[in-house]
Amino acid sequence: MTIDLKRITKTFGALRANDDITLTLQAGHIYAILGENGAGKSTLMKILSGFQAADSGEISFDGKSTNFTSPADALRHGIGMLHQDPLDVSVLTVLENFVLGRRGSLLPDRKQARADLLLHSERLGFRLNPDAYIDSLTIGERQQLEIVRLLSQGAKVLILDEPTTGISTEQKDMLFGALKRLATNEKLTVILVSHKLEDVEALCNHVIVLRQGKVIGERAMPCPISELVAMMFGQAIERTERPAMHAEKVVLQVSDLSAQGRRLQVRSINLGVREGEVIGLAGLDGSGQEAFLRTIAGLQPSISGHMHLAGRDVSRLDYHDRVRHGVAFAPAGRLEEGLVQGLTLAEHFALTLQGGAWLTWNTIIDHANAQIAHYNIRGRADSPIQTLSGGNQQRTLIALLPPALKLLLLEEPTRGLDVESARWVWSQLLDRRKHGTAIMFTSPDLDEIIEYSDRVLVFYGGKVTLVEDPSHISVSQLGSLIGGKPA
């Protein structure tokens, strides 16, 4: 199958997300779509997969023009999209999710569906329990289910949006192996949308780079990463040096803390976090690092133990009380927990202003425009938050954090960000560090953990291992600790 996208254009108000894009995609190839946040990658893929309609242009298959009216219509033409957060129903089982959206009778043959699920899973090397509930699965397992579901419904083109966010190295290797087999043996077309250039190197054989809504170049792989970065941003991005941390004052003292994770308990954690220190939390998905961070934030109760913030016992305080004592939390789920769908950028920033009923709209707009400019958010004061790209939503979430904090807790602070945006976010966080804010963060990116952490807590099997100096440990050694093996 040959797919031609011809002169695709899409605008949102004054923003030209896709600007006269023309591309040809061939069967059996694995493509990467690269570009900085707001370059138009997600918009283009939503058009190709039927989630949005283009303002102008056409899509053709083997020379035959078509027009999608919905994602289901696109799937009938053989195009399926795996979103960064899989589109499944948590209260249903794996098998029940597998049959969702299938054409045919109202009541599907469950016995045949189970056989189809196991058959498709086996040929891809996946191990999915048909009777398990979705909320018991890891992100990686949910992605596997969505791939199996799409392929079982005839997908010949598979679009993957940041598929390695939140999954382990083992799960990524399994996923990439399956995708390569599908492209080689079954001539599946795979399109990877990602900011992780190491994933592009490992998986793709062709790269398409977008900038400001236009295609600015294509490259066959292998290609030097420095060349791809220069195409994405117009220049190479230099690695920044993180200044050493010298403070000794303890901001947070955790004593014999135990917390309940999704799958297991993390037990008897003892840790003193110093003023201006950055602590990275590393572990496989579901190993307890998220539960520990949320327990510190006051979003879930501890099983046992104590927490002292600047000498004050906050063990029994809820999240709002801890906020008043100088703690802030930024979740990985931007639209699910961090931001409010339907509100504009200006309305979000209005929530952070003091003055109550006496705030004027002009004051709110001026403040919003200043924050948009300072944080380089690609949007306007009247832009609904859900219309922004994931990276610009993340910038907004960072911009909404209170200015003076004792402790900042972050889930995947650079999730979905391009290289330049990630560097910029960390420059903002390290500036807070210089003013005494202690930072604790989770990330599936081990390079990020090593680069920015003064110390690392590794979570495995309900226990934690403290790495005192991550500058003397390699990514592979940290990966071994995460997998429960000595470094």
pLDDT grade for 236, boundaries at 50, 70 and 90: low
Q: Are residues 222 and 316 in the same domain?
A: no
Q: Are residues 14 and 96 in the same domain?
A: yes
Rounded alpha-carbon distances, angstroms, from residue 103 to 95, 106, 111, 119: 16, 9, 16, 19
More confident of the two residues 29 and 461: 29
pLDDT grade for 6, boundaries at 50, 70 and 90: very high
Query: CA 269, CA 167: separation in Å to the nearest integer?
Result: 24
| Domain presence at residue 241 | no
* pLDDT > 90? residue 252: yes
Q: Residue 237 pairs with which residues in a beta bridge?
A: none
Q: Are residues 36 and 140 in the same domain?
A: yes
Q: Compute the average pLDDT of residues 203-211.
A: 93
State residue 165's pLDDT score: 67
State residue 240's pLDDT score: 58
Q: Express each pLDDT in 436-460 by its tens digit.
A: 999 999 988 888 899 999 999 998 8
* pLDDT > 80? residue 138: no
- Domain final residue, candidates 233, 267, 297: 233
Kindly report the CATH number assigned to the domain that includes residue 22.
3.40.50.300
- Domain final residue, candidates 204, 233, 262: 233
pTM: 0.66
State residue 357's pLDDT score: 62
State residue 130's pLDDT score: 92
| Domain presence at residue 487 | no
State residue 239's pLDDT score: 56
State residue 329's pLDDT score: 95
Query: CA 8, CA 5: separation in Å to the nearest integer?
Result: 7
Q: Are residues 186 and 265 in the same domain?
A: no
Q: Are residues 229 and 258 in the same domain?
A: no
More confident of the two residues 258 and 164: 258
Q: Nearest-5° angle of CA 276, CA 282, CA 284?
A: 160
| Structural domain containing residue 155 | 2-233
Q: Are residues 373 and 265 in the same domain?
A: yes
Considering the chain, what is the average pLDDT of its residues?
86
State residue 221's pLDDT score: 92
pLDDT grade for 197, boundaries at 50, 70 and 90: confident
Rounded alpha-carbon distances, angstroms, from residue 289 to 267, 280, 295, 443: 11, 10, 10, 10
| Domain presence at residue 379 | yes
More confident of the two residues 139 and 212: 212
Q: Are residues 302 and 399 in the same domain?
A: yes
Q: Are residues 327 and 474 in the same domain?
A: yes
Number of domains in the chain: 2
Q: Are residues 223 and 361 in the same domain?
A: no
State residue 171's pLDDT score: 73
Q: Which residues contact 325 (CB under 8 A, 6 or more apart)?
A: 309, 310, 312, 314, 317, 406
Q: Are residues 190 and 282 in the same domain?
A: no
pLDDT grade for 173, boundaries at 50, 70 and 90: confident
Q: Which residues contact 173 (CB under 8 A, 6 or more apart)?
A: none
Q: Express each pLDDT in 69-127 by its tens digit.
A: 888 889 888 999 988 777 788 888 999 889 886 766 556 778 888 998 998 888 777 88
State residue 356's pLDDT score: 58
State residue 361's pLDDT score: 87
| Domain presence at residue 142 | yes
pLDDT grade for 166, boundaries at 50, 70 and 90: low
Query: CA 92, CA 131: separation in Å to the nearest integer?
Result: 9
Q: Are residues 181 and 325 in the same domain?
A: no
Q: Are residues 210 and 309 in the same domain?
A: no
Q: Express each pLDDT in 350-405 by its tens digit.
A: 988 876 567 788 889 999 999 999 888 888 999 999 888 777 888 899 899 988 89
| Domain presence at residue 243 | no
- Domain final residue, candidates 182, 205, 233: 233
State residue 369's pLDDT score: 94
Q: Compute the average pLDDT of residues 406-429.
A: 86
